[in-house]
């Protein structure tokens, strides 16, 4: 069962509550005209246009494949291998359902991060130090298959961690006096912005499992 111990470490990235299978819908559409050149590196290739905000492929892969590993781990704790092609009650495959949830999370994060100046949110030295520790631990503790699928550089992952920390601080600050405000702000953001999932996002696939029951033996 030593593999399970390694698997559980990646679950720190996503709280168990994030496993609730809810299809949010981010108002996304697939782009046919604006496709990045396949010769560009992941940190230069746009995977998602969230309004005027560009989300690059390496960041998109980080969240998508981390979610894949997290869901597969959850099913393994139930003694099952996850069938990503299985249709859900929403009428879509498990893969599309989870990717839609991840896309919505990315959009919400960008919405909150964009408000950082308005709420005067920055990172303290202690928070920056904690991110450095998290970054170091990530490359030593994360499953090799997951690292390979994501393929993000250390400098880029640090920016991803920093963005998430700032976005979380903004949301917490907003909800301090009004718990409904973050949801209301995000709802407005979605109505004001068009989210376009580029072909690179569509090509992210969970076909090849990161974790299966074979890893337990």
pLDDT value at residue 212: 86
Of the candidates 97, 98, 108, 89, which has an alpha carbon nearest to the alpha carbon of residue 68?
Answer: 98
Contact 68, 61 (CB under 8 A): no
pLDDT value at residue 151: 95
Q: What are phi and psi of 69, to 5 degrees?
A: -60, -35
Distance CA 129, CA 179 (A): 29
pLDDT value at residue 28: 53
pLDDT value at residue 39: 54
Residues near 179 by beta carbon (within 8 Å), at least 6 away in sequence: none
Task: Encode pLDDT of 81-139 as tens digits.
Answer: 999 999 999 999 999 999 999 999 999 999 999 999 999 999 999 999 999 999 999 99
What is the DSSP annotation of 87-139? B-TTSSBHHHHHHHHHHHHHHHHHHHHTTTTTTT----HHHHHHHHHHHHHHH
3-state DSSP assignment of residue 197: strand
Q: Which residue has the tokens 């499953």?
A: 143
Domains parsed from the chain with CATH numbers: 2-209 (1.10.4030)
Helices 57-77 & 2-10 angle (0-180, nearest 10): 140
Distance CA 154, CA 160 (A): 10
Of the candidates 75, 41, 80, which has an alpha carbon nearest to the alpha carbon of residue 61?
Answer: 41
- How much is the pTM? 0.83
Residues of the chain with confidence (pLDDT) below 70: 1-39, 216-217
């Amino acid at each position: 069962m030593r593999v399970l111990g390694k698997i559980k470490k990646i679950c720190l990235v996503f709280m168990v509550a994030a496993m609730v299978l809810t299809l949010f819908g981010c108002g996304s559409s697939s782009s046919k005209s604006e496709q990045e050149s396949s010769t560009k590196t992941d940190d230069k290739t746009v995977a998602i246009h969230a309004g005027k905000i560009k989300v690059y492929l390496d960041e998109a892969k980080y969240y998508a494949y981390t979610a894949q590993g997290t869901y597969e781990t959850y099913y393994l704790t139930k003694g099952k291998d996850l069938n990503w092609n299985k249709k859900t009650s929403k009428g879509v495959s498990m893969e599309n359902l989870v990717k839609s949830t991840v896309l919505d999370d990315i959009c919400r994060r960008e919405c909150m991060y964009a408000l950082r100046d308005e709420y005067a949110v920055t990172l303290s030295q202690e928070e920056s130090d904690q991110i450095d520790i998290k970054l170091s631990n990530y490359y030593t503790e994360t499953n090799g298959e997951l690292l390979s699928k994501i393929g993000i550089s250390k400098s880029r992952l640090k920016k991803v961690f920093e963005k998430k920390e700032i976005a979380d601080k903004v949301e917490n600050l907003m909800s301090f006096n009004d718990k409904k405000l973050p949801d209301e702000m995000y709802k407005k953001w979605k109505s004001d912005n068009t989210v376009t999932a580029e072909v690179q996002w569509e090509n992210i696939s969970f076909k090849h499992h990161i974790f299966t029951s074979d890893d337990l033996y």
